[in-house]
Amino acid sequence: AQSVTQLDSQVPVFEEAPVELRCNYSSSVSVYLFWYVQYPNQGLQLLLKYLSGSTLVKGINGFEAEFNKSQTSFHLRKPSVHISDTAEYFCAVSPSNDYKLSFGAGTTVTVRA
Binding site for other proteins (CB under 8 A): 4, 6, 9, 32, 34, 36, 41-46, 49, 51, 90, 92, 94, 96-106
Closest approach of other proteins to the CB of residue 108, in Å: 10
Q: Closest CB to other proteins among 30 and 80?
A: 30
Q: Closest CB to other proteins among 41 and 71?
A: 41
Closest approach of other proteins to the CB of residue 106, in Å: 5
* Cβ-proximal residues to 90 (8 Å cutoff; 6+ apart), any chain: 6, 35, 36, 37, 38, 44, 103, 104, 106, 107
CA distance 20 to 78: 7
